[in-house]
Amino acid sequence: MLGSHPFASQLQQAVGGRVLVHPRDCDDYPVGGASPKLVASPVGVQEAARVAKLIGDERERLVVRGGGTKSSRPPCADALFAVLDMSKCEGVLAYEPGDLTISVKAGTKLAHLQSVLARHGQFFPCDAAHAARATIGGTLAASANGALRQRYGSLRDNTLGMRVALSDGTVAFSGAKVVKSVAGYDAYKLFIGSLGTLGVIGEVTLKVSPLPGEQALVAIRFASARDAADAALDVARSPLFVLAMTLHDPAAGTRIRGLPRTPEERDWLLVIRCGGSRSAVRRQLDGAVAICERRRGRDFLETPHEAVARVWADIAELAAGDAYPSNGFVAARFTGLPADVPPLVDALRRAWPTCEITAHPAVGVVYAHVPADASTFSPSTIEAFWKACERSHWSVQFLSAPPALAAVARAPIPPSIPRGLNQKVKAALDPRGVFDPTRGAAGLL
């Protein structure tokens, strides 16, 4: 029994008693459908490092967990030993609005972060779903970028520095706490999108932005995905500098509750988010509408400033897959060239006619939600689809899948990815393999 093991008392000591070993308690921290044997909840990066080292000394593995908003992400560990729960490692460490930087502990919830910043008219340009529960550390580890990256850059672009805990118990900082620095390697970038396979993100320094004084959305209907995507590319190439664009198939479009009218069932929906001064927003809206009209867009619906956040929260949930029950859908993210969004959408709809699609057409990201049904995931369908992806250089990441389909939810790694270097990075930073490697890109590590 783990509770009476000397190791458990060492762990208790390492994290001030915040260790759970009772199965009933551990069930609250599932990862990939499995419950851990123990859960340790550090409140600081040093504690996280001590836990990682102790678990490594026991020759066991751990999975780092933030707010648990992506706990259905496959593949899951075969036998889950420990969860390092970072949700209690929270709080603002330093914030100087005039410097446009904030340093926070990694378990800080996105909603809390945004509310602290909003008091000073600022925000962190990240539109991940479930902001009340999602932690900044988890969001970075999952590289859960949203459509705002079109204007503000990716999460990586807005992360300035990071303090991480490694499995040998060391704590290391890289990057800086100012908006610009080239001193040393940006080793912290390796942890963004690493899915917790290299170490624990303990503290982060972020670059924040002023909240636009005025915002608005315009939703435009199109008869085809191609017209809508082409319009999006035209807008992206224009000097309008809109904040973000999202594209939805007819079914996904009806899930955006906040829009004034639901689109007709056969229409694709392009939503354009504008921001800046009042005159700039007016110009962006008018300019975007004029471009869309040239691409046969119609029925322009504007959402005013005060309703933008509510509608956008719905849209963020669509992309993250949270609008769909995790046991009913397979969710995957595809990335490719922006101009290749229409052919990818065609290929997806050919393979899975009932799949729902949300895309960020200006950056070349497509989210597909396919109703989970063993019959639609036959080996031959999958094989043919991977071939299509490989031909057009699309890469794929699975976001969630029901346990029964975990085996098929493994995307192939394109041959251009330097597998050897990835493996060497893992071996260099986590030589004992304490951080569960099965959660990395399948087949890469």
Partner 1 sequence: MDSTFIDRLRKLVGRRHVLADLDDLRSYGYDASLDRALPDVVALPGSAREVADVVAACVDRGYPFVARGAGTGLSGGALAEGGGVVISTTRMHRILELDALNRLAVVEPGVPNAEISAAAAAHGLRFVPDPSSQAVCTIGGNIAENAGGLHCLAYGVTANHVLGVEVVTADGELVSLGGKTVDTPGYDLLGCFIGSEGTLGIVTQATVRLEPMHEASRTLLAVYDSIENASRAVSDIIGSGIIPGALEMMDRLTTQAVEESVHAGFPTDAEAILIIEVDGVREAVDDIAQAVREVCERHAAREVRLAQSPDERERIWRGRKGAFGAMGRYSPTYYVQDGVIPRTRLPEVLREVSAVSARFGLRIANVFHAGDGNIHPLIIFNADDPGEVERAVVAGDEILRACVRHGGSISGEHGIGTEKRDCMTLQFAPADLELMARVKKVFNARNLCNPRKMFPTSRRCGEGARKLASGELSPALAAAAGPAF
Return the residues of window 370-409 that contact partner 1 according to CB under 8 A: 393-395, 397
- Applying CB under 8 A, the site for partner 1 has a residue count of 87
Q: Does 1 bind partner 1 (CB under 8 A)?
A: no
Residues 56-85 that bind partner 1 (CB under 8 A): none
Q: Does 424 bind partner 1 (CB under 8 A)?
A: yes
Of the candidates 313, 150, 285, the one whose C-alpha atom is nearest the C-alpha of residue 220 is: 285
Shortest CB 169 distance to partner 1, Å? 10
Contact (Cβ atoms closer than 8 angstroms) between residue 76 and residue 33: yes
Quick one: tokens of 418? Answer: 């330097």
Of the candidates 133, 130, 111, 136, the one whose C-alpha atom is nearest the C-alpha of residue 317 is: 130
Interatomic CA distance for residues 301 and 291, integer angstroms = 15
Shortest CB 193 distance to partner 1, Å? 6
Contact (Cβ atoms closer than 8 angstroms) between residue 84 and residue 42: yes
Q: Which residue has the tokens 């990716």?
A: 154
Q: What angle do CA 410, 413, 419 make, to 5 degrees?
A: 125
First to last CA, the chain: 32
Could you tell me where the DSSP H helices lie in 108-224?
Answer: 110-118, 136-141, 149-152
Q: Does 173 bind partner 1 (CB under 8 A)?
A: yes
Q: Can you name the residues that pair with 40 across neighbouring β-strands?
A: 19, 84
The piece of 32-40, 203-211, 297-305, 400-408 that touches partner 1 (CB under 8 A) is 203-211
Shortest CB 391 distance to partner 1, Å? 14
**Phi and psi at residue 142, in whole multiples of 5°?**
-90, -5
Quick one: tokens of 83? Answer: 């969860």
Residues 121-160 that bind partner 1 (CB under 8 A): 121, 143, 145, 149, 153-154, 156-157
Q: Does 37 bind partner 1 (CB under 8 A)?
A: no
Q: Candidates 67, 364, 402, 437: give the one binding partner 1 (CB under 8 A).
A: 364
Interatomic CA distance for residues 166 and 430, integer angstroms = 7
Nearer to partner 1, 236 or 256 (CB): 236
Concatenated DSSP letters of 294-352: HTT-EEEEEE-HHHHHHHHHHHHHHHHTTTS-TTTEEEEEEE--GGGHHHHHHHHHHH-
Contact (Cβ atoms closer than 8 angstroms) between residue 157 and residue 241: no
Shortest CB 121 distance to partner 1, Å? 6
Nearer to partner 1, 103 or 326 (CB): 103
Q: Candidates 8, 93, 187, 223: give the one binding partner 1 (CB under 8 A).
A: 187
Q: Does 194 bind partner 1 (CB under 8 A)?
A: yes
Residues 253-292 that bind partner 1 (CB under 8 A): 276-277, 279-280, 282-284, 287
Could you tell me where the DSSP H helices lie in 91-193?
Answer: 110-118, 136-141, 149-152
Q: Does 236 bind partner 1 (CB under 8 A)?
A: yes
Q: Candidates 3, 16, 23, 210: give the one binding partner 1 (CB under 8 A).
A: 210
Nearer to partner 1, 13 or 170 (CB): 170
The strand ranges marked E within 343-424 are: 356-360, 365-371, 395-400
Q: Does 192 bind partner 1 (CB under 8 A)?
A: yes
Q: Does 174 bind partner 1 (CB under 8 A)?
A: yes
- Number of residues in the chain: 445
Classify residue 30 by its DSSP letter: -
Shortest CB 413 distance to partner 1, Å? 6
CB count within 10 Å of CB 79 equals: 10
Q: Does 237 bind partner 1 (CB under 8 A)?
A: yes
Contact (Cβ atoms closer than 8 angstroms) between residue 136 and residue 206: yes
Contact (Cβ atoms closer than 8 angstroms) between residue 82 and residue 48: no
Shortest CB 159 distance to partner 1, Å? 10
Give the contact letters, 93-122, x = binds to partner 1 (CB under 8 A), - = no: ---xxxxxx-------------------x-
Nearer to partner 1, 169 or 403 (CB): 169
Shortest CB 105 distance to partner 1, Å? 17
Shortest CB 3 distance to partner 1, Å? 33
Interatomic CA distance for residues 117 and 96, integer angstroms = 10
Residues 6-35 that bind partner 1 (CB under 8 A): none
Shortest CB 52 distance to partner 1, Å? 14
Q: Does 92 bind partner 1 (CB under 8 A)?
A: no
Residues 332-361 that bind partner 1 (CB under 8 A): 333, 335-339
Q: Does 411 bind partner 1 (CB under 8 A)?
A: yes
Q: Candidates 111, 118, 179, 251: give the one binding partner 1 (CB under 8 A).
A: 179
Q: Candidates 147, 233, 259, 370: give the one binding partner 1 (CB under 8 A).
A: 233
